[in-house]
Amino acid sequence: MAEDRRETMKMMCVIRYQIDPFQREDFRKHADNLISIIPRCGGHLIAYLLPYEGTNDVAWGLIGFESLAAYETYRTRLKTDPEAKEDAAWMQSKRMILREERNFVELVDGTFNIAAAATSAAPLSA
């Protein structure tokens, strides 16, 4: 499956969210909602990430696409998808997202989803 994604996903939309840190669990619910919405509308859901350590108000979304045209088709589908519209209205009513930035990056062939190599080396000493 990961190999299929590497073959079709050429670019990623990296979304940086500034969230209300007191609504972290609501953002988690939003991310859970996207598990079915994003693939149904044509995006490759890579991950949604919540703050863990350090800055407590920055979350990330990673969605893959074959092209900018595929992204535009995805955005059009989002606007008409009933579950996506319901989730968007709920998010706006909660005001959990204070700011959102989108960047598009190109996937470098052969570098996506490579697992760590097993190693038998001794751990580094302090």
Give the DSSP H or E segment for 102. Answer: strand 97-106
**Average of pLDDT values for 115-122?**
75
pLDDT digits (tens, 9 = 90+) for 32-75: 999 999 999 999 999 999 999 999 999 999 999 999 999 999 99
pLDDT digits (tens, 9 = 90+) for 75-101: 999 999 999 999 999 999 999 999 999
CB 72 within 8 A of CB 14: no
- Strands lying side by side in the sheet with 58-65: 44-49, 58-65, 11-19, 97-106
Can you give the residue ranges of every domain in the chain?
Answer: 2-99
Instruction: Determine the number of helices (DSSP H) and then strands (DSSP E) in the chain.
Output: 4, 4
Q: Is the pLDDT of residue 14 over 60?
A: yes
Question: What class is the 2-99 domain?
Answer: alpha beta
Whether this model's pTM surpasses 0.85? no
Q: What are phi and psi of 4, to 5 degrees?
A: -60, -45
